[in-house]
Chains A and B, each alone.
Chain A
Amino acid sequence: MKKELGIFVLLIVLCIIVSIINPNFLLAINLQNLARQIGAFGIFSIGLGLVIITGGIELSVGSMMALLGVLLSMMLTEWRFGVVLAVLACIAIAMVLGLGHGLLITRLNMQPFIVTLCGLLFYRGLARFITNDNTKGFGSVTGLDFLRFVANGNLLGIPMPFVLLILISVVTWVVLHRSVYGRYLFATGRNAEAARYAGIDTKQIVTLTYVISGALTAISGIIFAFYTNSVSPANHGNAYELYGIAAAVLGGCSLRGGEGSVVGVLIGTALLQVLRNLVNLLGIPSSLDFAVMGAVILIGVMADQIFTERRNRRQVALMRETSAR
């Protein structure tokens, strides 16, 4: 929890500074908009966080969203699928793609970076090909009210994507931090060999994680599709995986695996979206957008590293004391 505390303090300080310089930050409409973004980005970031805890990486998130977005549009407008069927199909496709990644990584021992990089290229290409590079929308199809509500509506003033994110976070928090699967996930990410010696089916754990990440990507993807209301296959979701990775790393996930938390990813996502908001509100040239984010991530991770080392030193000191006694 201490880890998350540091980044949480950074988030709060940032929010205070922004609201002092530009009080518009605190306007209900701005906060609502911010929460909506945090919700949509947070859901898939949690999936990415899980993958990173295995010691892997998932680079195909953005492309997968583009593919799922155009497929969703085509299912609803061209093939006249029912809404429920289309949504389920979207999630199922993403899970199958995740399963594919997981199997290639665990059964063929391929590197996650390469497998998912190929996914990034492949799904984007596929999305553009099946649409002839045409932007897809949802036209005049009726019965989409619920999906539009999920993406753009509010529940008691709270944006729906944010509500969904909280629900999903609670579930993944329990799974990651309280369940057997979560413990196995950390064990596998920390030291796959030792986990195997302890009788854990590490291949199954890793594969399952990519499937979960796929499902969460699909949920985010559906929200984004209705949030933008049109899916341009060449640009939709571009570089979103990097937002997810950045959020996870900011939130304390180690790319070496075995480390991370749901709360951390949530705070990381929030911090990133506040930064984007800040660039807008403070009149910083939007071309500096990425530079600001890069700098803040660097500082955040650096500070975290320093804290971790301090904590380890304290434990060693405690141990010495005990053995001296």
Chain B
Amino acid sequence: MTATAPILEMDGISKRFPGVVALDQVSLTVGTGEIVALIGENGAGKSTLMKILGGAISRDAGTVKINGEPIEIRSPREASALGIEFIHQELSVLDNLDIAANIFLRREPTKAGWLKLIDRKRIYREADELLRKLDVDVPSRTPLGQLSLAQQQLVEIARALGAGARIIIMDEPTSSLTLSETRRLLEIIKDLKAQNVSIIYISHRMHEVEEIADRAVVLRDGKNAGELTGNEITHERMVRMMVGRDLKDFFKGAAAGNGSHPELDGGFEVRRLRTLRYPDHKISFKVAKGEVLGFAGLVGAGRSEVARAIFGVDEAIEVEVVLNGQGLRIDDPQDAITHGIYLVPEDRRLTGLIVDFNVRENISLPNLESYSSAKIINRAKEMSAALEACKVINIKTPTPEMRAANLSGGNQQKVVLAKWLTFAPRVIIFDEPTRGIDVGAKSEIYELIRKLASEGVSVIVISSEMEEVLGISDRIAVMHEGRLTGILDRVQFSEEAVMRLATGTDGGHKEAQNGEKG
């Protein structure tokens, strides 16, 4: 069977979110029994496109055809009825139930008429059969919680097959698998292809795509950037297509680059950091006073873990932190704050702010003691500090008494920043500082970052947005699967150089150069 009859045709798909065009006239065709890799940088629109196909969100324009029939997919349930199954990056299995219960969830065969008792015999028999097909050597009565992550993923695939899937979407399926588990999954995907199941494979791992994809569809900034078939699918060509644009004009002047070289200043240094998530890799880097060190990498590369370990929210297995030549011990955020090390975390609403608190209470929270005498808060002092902060960094709120939850993303992020700016920071770590923020607020935040650096603060900016990290940084550290694969100086900056390190093609010797591999 050749991959000529398209089972799926998505054409001219557009989707606009408030403030952003996520997809602009994107097309995707998948043949029966074809493995199509969908690739692109973070934010290129892959997930949005797949969510539209999976029925999780609706499209603004475009057509979706299955076997040539135009169709509407209004919910995941409808997608499932059409034979489209989504295997998410985070497993969506229930680990309190057994394998069979997971495979048959929402379509349990019943007996005894209106009593609707689950036909246990049947689900175990059929589940065992599916498992055998996938070469999983575990009885289907096993509680899911006892399985490895890789096995749980196979259960998800079994569930998709059991539901009669003709198209399976896999979003970064190997991101948490070991090498041998990955090999096995790739074999299974090839088997599925042989059974005429179509696969849409989303991955940042270029060598996997090279190995299994019949065709690679590349998205960039919400548009089709091209596609590659057969032998054309090489790492180099994919990366070039993903990056694809000339970036020299972005952020002109944003990175002031004060010329100081990190070795010359005391600044901030992290030595041999081993995080709980990636205990086998040691991370070492320096940030000079007044320098902005970017942290690039793909989602899940371990950058946030590094930030949390430095700030003391997460325990580090091993770490040495040096600030201005002095070794520090950081066991919890209080220690970090005492030494002037602050974190603007990735998730504003969960960790950056208390959204039910008002703006004033959020801003004063870490510095409350300084607005109080004898532990009693001086509300006038607190209020004037909040008003001052609102003015200085332009937080748009009618009053500091407004609940933070009601502010826009950009203004919420400024509140998080305002918390730390009332101190005298020495090191600030920004984790995805502009995620979900409109363009205007973005440039204000870049300005603030530059201003902090010019005041002599050591700044770390973790960002998955290529132009952001290239534009704002003096140097860029790149991580891949928990490893620091390289640190680029400004003259070496290019999207391709970052991408190569981020996808782990070009990491070995760089790491050796930085020493300390675990």
A residues 149-197 near B (Cβ < 8 Å) are 174, 178-181, 183-184, 186-187, 190-191, 193-197
Which residues of chain B are within 8 angstroms of A316 by Cβ–Cβ distance? Answer: 406
- What separation, in Å, do the CA atoms of A193 and B356 have in the docked complex? 14
Say yes or no: is B302 at the interface (Cβ < 8 Å to chain A): no
Give which listed residue, B350, B364, B366, contacts A191 with CB less than 8 A: B350
A56-68 interface code vs B (CB 8 A; 1 in, 0 out)? 0000000000000
Q: Return A190 CB to nearest CB of chain B, in Å.
A: 5
Given the contacts A190-B357, A191-B350, A198 and B333 also touching, CB distance less than 8 Å? yes
Give which listed residue, A180, A194, A200, contacts B372 with CB less than 8 A: A180
Closest to A319 in B: B406
Given the contacts A197-B313, A323-B408, A187 and B357 also touching, CB distance less than 8 Å? yes
Say yes or no: is A283 at the interface (Cβ < 8 Å to chain B): no
Say yes or no: is B334 at the interface (Cβ < 8 Å to chain A): yes
Say yes or no: is B76 at the interface (Cβ < 8 Å to chain A): no
A residues 234-258 near B (Cβ < 8 Å) are 258
Number of B residues contacting the other chain (C-beta, 8 Å)? 37
Which residues of chain B are within 8 angstroms of A184 by Cβ–Cβ distance? Answer: 368
- What separation, in Å, do the CA atoms of A196 and B337 have in the docked complex? 11
- What separation, in Å, do the CA atoms of A191 and B372 have in the docked complex? 22
Say yes or no: is B353 at the interface (Cβ < 8 Å to chain A): yes
Which residues of chain A are within 8 angstroms of B396 by Cβ–Cβ distance? Answer: 322-323
- What separation, in Å, do the CA atoms of A319 and B376 have in the docked complex? 31
Given the contacts A190-B354, A194-B354, A322-B398, A180 and B333 also touching, CB distance less than 8 Å? no
Which residues of chain A are within 8 angstroms of B419 by Cβ–Cβ distance? Answer: 198
Are A197 and B351 in touch, CB under 8 angstroms?
A: yes
Say yes or no: is B403 at the interface (Cβ < 8 Å to chain A): yes
- What separation, in Å, do the CA atoms of A198 and B344 have in the docked complex? 10
Are B350 and A201 in touch, CB under 8 angstroms?
A: no
Which residues of chain A are within 8 angstroms of B361 by Cβ–Cβ distance? Answer: 183, 187
Which residues of chain B are within 8 angstroms of A199 by Cβ–Cβ distance? Answer: 333-334, 336-337, 366
Say yes or no: is B402 at the interface (Cβ < 8 Å to chain A): yes
B residues 364-404 near A (Cβ < 8 Å) are 364-366, 368-369, 372, 375-377, 379, 396-398, 402-403
Which residues of chain B are within 8 angstroms of A181 by Cβ–Cβ distance? Answer: 375
Given the contacts A183-B368, A315-B406, A316-B406, A178 and B356 also touching, CB distance less than 8 Å? no
From B354, B357, B368, B377, residue with most partner A Cβ within 10 Å:
B354
Are B398 and A194 in touch, CB under 8 angstroms?
A: no
- What separation, in Å, do the CA atoms of A183 and B352 have in the docked complex? 17
Are B398 and A197 in touch, CB under 8 angstroms?
A: no
Are B376 and A178 in touch, CB under 8 angstroms?
A: yes
Say yes or no: is A318 at the interface (Cβ < 8 Å to chain B): yes
Given the contacts A196-B333, A199-B333, A315-B402, A191 and B355 also touching, CB distance less than 8 Å? yes
Closest to B406 in A: A319
Are A197 and B368 in touch, CB under 8 angstroms?
A: no
Are A194 and B375 in touch, CB under 8 angstroms?
A: no
Q: Return B342 CB to nearest CB of chain A, in Å.
A: 9
Are A180 and B398 in touch, CB under 8 angstroms?
A: no
Which residues of chain A are within 8 angstroms of B322 by Cβ–Cβ distance? Answer: none
Give which listed residue, B345, B355, B376, B407, contacts A197 with CB less than 8 A: B345
Which residues of chain B are within 8 angstroms of A315 by Cβ–Cβ distance? Answer: 402-403, 406
Are A319 and B402 in touch, CB under 8 angstroms?
A: yes
Main secondary structure of the interface of B (DSSP, over half): mixed
Give which listed residue, A194, A258, A322, contacts B350 with CB less than 8 A: A194
Are B372 and A197 in touch, CB under 8 angstroms?
A: no
Given the contacts A179-B372, A197-B333, A318 and B398 also touching, CB distance less than 8 Å? yes
Number of A residues contacting the other chain (C-beta, 8 Å)? 28
Give which listed residue, A179, A190, A195, A319, contacts B398 with CB less than 8 A: A319
- What separation, in Å, do the CA atoms of A183 and B333 have in the docked complex? 18
Q: Return A325 CB to nearest CB of chain B, in Å.
A: 9
Are A187 and B337 in touch, CB under 8 angstroms?
A: no
Say yes or no: is B24 at the interface (Cβ < 8 Å to chain A): no
- What separation, in Å, do the CA atoms of A184 and B351 have in the docked complex? 15
Given the contacts A179-B377, A180-B369, A183-B365, A319 and B355 also touching, CB distance less than 8 Å? no
Which residues of chain A are within 8 angstroms of B407 by Cβ–Cβ distance? Answer: 319
Are B398 and A187 in touch, CB under 8 angstroms?
A: no
Q: Return B403 CB to nearest CB of chain A, in Å.
A: 6
Given the contacts A179-B376, A194-B350, A196-B333, A187 and B365 also touching, CB distance less than 8 Å? yes
- What separation, in Å, do the CA atoms of A200 and B361 have in the docked complex? 14
Given the contacts A179-B375, A180-B369, A183-B365, A194 and B353 also touching, CB distance less than 8 Å? yes
Are B408 and A178 in touch, CB under 8 angstroms?
A: no
- What separation, in Å, do the CA atoms of A63 and B142 have in the docked complex? 43
Closest to B335 in A: A199
Which residues of chain B are within 8 angstroms of A186 by Cβ–Cβ distance? Answer: 357
- What separation, in Å, do the CA atoms of A201 and B361 have in the docked complex? 17
Give which listed residue, A179, A195, A201, contacts B354 with CB less than 8 A: A195
- What separation, in Å, do the CA atoms of A190 and B353 have in the docked complex? 10
Are A180 and B377 in touch, CB under 8 angstroms?
A: yes
- What separation, in Å, do the CA atoms of A36 and B408 have in the docked complex? 50
Q: Return B371 CB to nearest CB of chain A, in Å.
A: 9
Say yes or no: is B332 at the interface (Cβ < 8 Å to chain A): yes
Q: Return A117 CB to nearest CB of chain B, in Å.
A: 23
Are A178 and B377 in touch, CB under 8 angstroms?
A: yes
Say yes or no: is B343 at the interface (Cβ < 8 Å to chain A): yes
B residues 301-345 near A (Cβ < 8 Å) are 311, 313, 332-334, 336-337, 343, 345
Closest to A182 in B: B377
Are A201 and B375 in touch, CB under 8 angstroms?
A: no
Q: Return A298 CB to nearest CB of chain B, in Å.
A: 24
Which residues of chain B are within 8 angstroms of A200 by Cβ–Cβ distance? Answer: 334, 365-366
Are B354 and A191 in touch, CB under 8 angstroms?
A: yes
Are B351 and A194 in touch, CB under 8 angstroms?
A: yes
Are B398 and A183 in touch, CB under 8 angstroms?
A: no
- What separation, in Å, do the CA atoms of A198 and B375 have in the docked complex? 18
Are A193 and B403 in touch, CB under 8 angstroms?
A: no
Which residues of chain A are within 8 angstroms of B366 by Cβ–Cβ distance? Answer: 198-200
Are B313 and A201 in touch, CB under 8 angstroms?
A: no
Given the contacts A174-B376, A179-B376, A194-B352, A201 and B402 also touching, CB distance less than 8 Å? no
B residues 187-215 near A (Cβ < 8 Å) are none
Closest to A320 in B: B406
Which residues of chain A are within 8 angstroms of B311 by Cβ–Cβ distance? Answer: 197
30 A-B interface contacts by CB (under 8 A)? A180-B376, A183-B361, A183-B364, A183-B377, A184-B368, A187-B354, A187-B357, A187-B361, A190-B357, A191-B353, A191-B355, A191-B356, A194-B353, A195-B354, A195-B365, A196-B313, A196-B332, A197-B313, A197-B343, A197-B352, A198-B365, A201-B332, A201-B334, A258-B354, A258-B356, A315-B403, A319-B398, A322-B397, A322-B398, A323-B396
18 further A-B contacts with Cβ under 8 Å, apart from A190-B357, A200-B365, are A174-B376, A180-B369, A183-B365, A187-B357, A193-B350, A193-B351, A194-B352, A196-B333, A197-B311, A197-B345, A197-B351, A199-B336, A199-B337, A200-B334, A201-B332, A201-B334, A319-B406, A322-B398
Residues of B within 8 A of A (CB): 311, 313, 332-334, 336-337, 343, 345, 350-357, 361, 364-366, 368-369, 372, 375-377, 379, 396-398, 402-403, 406-408, 419
Residues of A within 8 A of B (CB): 174, 178-181, 183-184, 186-187, 190-191, 193-201, 258, 312, 315-316, 318-319, 322-323
- In the A-B complex, the 7 residue pairs with the smallest Cβ-Cβ separation, listed nearest first, are A199-B337, A198-B366, A319-B406, A198-B365, A191-B354, A322-B398, A199-B333
